[in-house]
Amino acid sequence: MSRRAVFKFRIYVAGDALNSAQALANLTALCLKYLPDRHEIEVVDVFREPKRALADGIFMTPTLLKLAPSPVRKIVGTLSQLQPVLQALGLQPITA
């Protein structure tokens, strides 16, 4: 993977719910630390866009989709466990 690859994320939140706010804050902090100047975050509020969430197969919030680079990944939760999140996003190698 190119070092200059732009990571594109879409995070589904439920209004200003605490878990949603925590997930967005954790994602923002992760991006600023590990992907400075090479990330995009789109926030979708399932209360405002319920049909979009359903069409995208989102049934729980918060849910994060990593859209690019491939492969697409889905993580549900507040993203508070940094190491598993980094591994799931392909930002750290999986160790045996």
pLDDT of residue 92: 74
Is the peptide bond preceding residue 50 cis, with omega within 30 degrees of 0?
no
- For residue 16, count CB atoms less than 10 angstroms from its CB and return exposed for 0-12, middle for 13-18, buried for 19 or more: exposed
68-92: burial string, b at 16+ Cβ within 10 Å, e else: eeeeeeebebbbeeeeebeebbbee
The rounded distance, in Å, linking the Cα atoms of 95 and 76 is 22
Tens digit of each residue's pLDDT (9 = 90 or more) over 43-70: 999 999 999 999 989 999 999 999 999 9
Average pLDDT over residues 12-22: 96
Do residues 77 and 20 lie in contact, with contact meaning Cβ atoms separated by under 8 Å? no
pLDDT given at position 2:
46
89 pLDDT more than 80: yes
In the numeric block, the tokens 């939140």 are attached to: 13
Full set of structural domains in the chain with CATH = 7-88 (3.40.30.10)
pLDDT tier at 3, thresholds 50, 70, 90: low
